[in-house]
């Protein structure tokens, strides 16, 4: 089993990811940490606990973290995820409480334990990277417990919240820049699962409607139905869930190593991931801005059908 931690801002696609990570037999979900993003932090926490309850994973510790980005205000996306972040599905809400630690403290403790045991952890951030930036700058020793970071965010070529930027990096670009810099300094292998592949793992309504018989399967079906209705389509991407698939089955994802920066200024480009795809090393070395210090494995193509089947077969699994 691969030990993993998820950092989430649970909206509809984070919920798809949580259902998969909580139930796949090859993943050992050690903890889930929460940040404000798609919705406010309080709703993120409730949504996260609710999804884990549906997956039968009340054993997984959940901690609340950063309520706001490092500098700018929270800018949620209720038009995408509903007012409550879970599509306003009126799903039975969890009554559980969170771990008493701050998310950064929970991350620190689990990663230090991993470093001591030698069982290194894959960290999968699916939210603005605020918690992870705070972790790596406050407790850099905790990086010794990391096998890798696989984050959903950024893009080599497109944006969604703006023409230039993807939501998670746009929501806290300073945090994204800090995480990339720290990963390079601390030697943590990093993969960017961005918009270049994000939309390519699609579950059809027909496939979703075969799901049922457990709370998890019923919620999974409802998530796809809600996202399909939102986009007036006969199916929906599992979004962040694709990053979990990439950890379970990395051979379904094509990546290339590129230097990556985050644009922190720019009238139209704040939050854009600047992926340096130039092939000629001479162009990079003569660049007056210099080359980005951190090289990232950037997702360039995905086997969408393979990952959709992986998600469907897992979230439909019966649990005790």
Question: Which residue in 7, 9, 172, 303 is the catalytic one?
Answer: 9
| Distance, CA of 4 to CA of 107 (rounded, Å) | 11
Q: Are 21 and 140 in contact (CB under 8 A)?
A: no
Let me know: does 39 contact 76? Beta carbons within 8 Å: yes
**Burial level of 320, CB count in 10 A (0-12/13-18/19+)?**
exposed
Residue 230: phi and psi, rounded to 5, are -60, -40
3-state secondary structure (DSSP) of residue 85:
coil
Contact 306/289 with Cβ under 8 angstroms?
Answer: no
List the one residue out of 53, 45, 58 whose CA is nearest residue 10.
45
Q: Confirm whether 9 is a catalytic residue.
A: yes
CA atoms within 13 A on the CB side of 279: 0
Catalytic residues: 9
């Amino acid at each position: 089993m691969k030990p993993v931690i998820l950092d989430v801002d649970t909206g509809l696609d984070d919920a798809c990811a949580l259902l998969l990570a909580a139930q796949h037999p090859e993943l050992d979900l050690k903890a889930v940490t929460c940040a404000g993003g798609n919705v406010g932090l309080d709703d993120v926490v409730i949504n996260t606990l609710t999804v884990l309850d549906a997956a039968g994973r009340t054993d997984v510790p959940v901690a609340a973290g950063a309520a706001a980005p490092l500098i700018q205000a929270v800018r949620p996306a209720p038009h995408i995820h509903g007012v409550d972040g879970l599509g306003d599905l009126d799903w039975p809400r969890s009554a559980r409480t969170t771990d008493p630690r701050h998310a950064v403290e929970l991350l620190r403790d689990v990663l230090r334990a991993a470093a001591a045991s030698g069982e290194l952890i894959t960290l999968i951030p699916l939210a603005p990277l605020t918690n992870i930036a705070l972790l790596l700058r406050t407790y850099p020793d905790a990086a010794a417990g990391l096998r890798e970071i696989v984050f959903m965010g950024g893009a080599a070529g497109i944006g969604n919240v703006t023409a230039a930027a993807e939501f998670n990096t746009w929501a806290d670009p300073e945090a994204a820049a800090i995480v990339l810099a720290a990963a390079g300094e601390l030697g943590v292998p990093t993969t960017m699962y961005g918009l270049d592949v994000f939309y390519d793992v699609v579950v059809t309504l027909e496939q979703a409607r075969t799901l049922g018989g457990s709370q998890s399967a019923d919620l999974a079906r409802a998530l796809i139905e809600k996202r399909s209705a939102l986009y007036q389509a006969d199916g929906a991407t599992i979004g962040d869930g694709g990053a979990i698939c990439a950890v379970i089955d990395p051979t379904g994802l094509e990546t290339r190593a590129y230097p990556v920066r985050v644009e922190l200024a720019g009238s139209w480009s704040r939050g854009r991931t600047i992926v340096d795809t130039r092939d000629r090393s001479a162009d990079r070395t003569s660049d007056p801005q210099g080359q980005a210090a951190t090289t990232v494995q950037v997702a360039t193509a995905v086997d969408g059908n393979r990952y959709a089947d992986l998600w469907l077969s897992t979230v439909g699994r019966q649990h005790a």
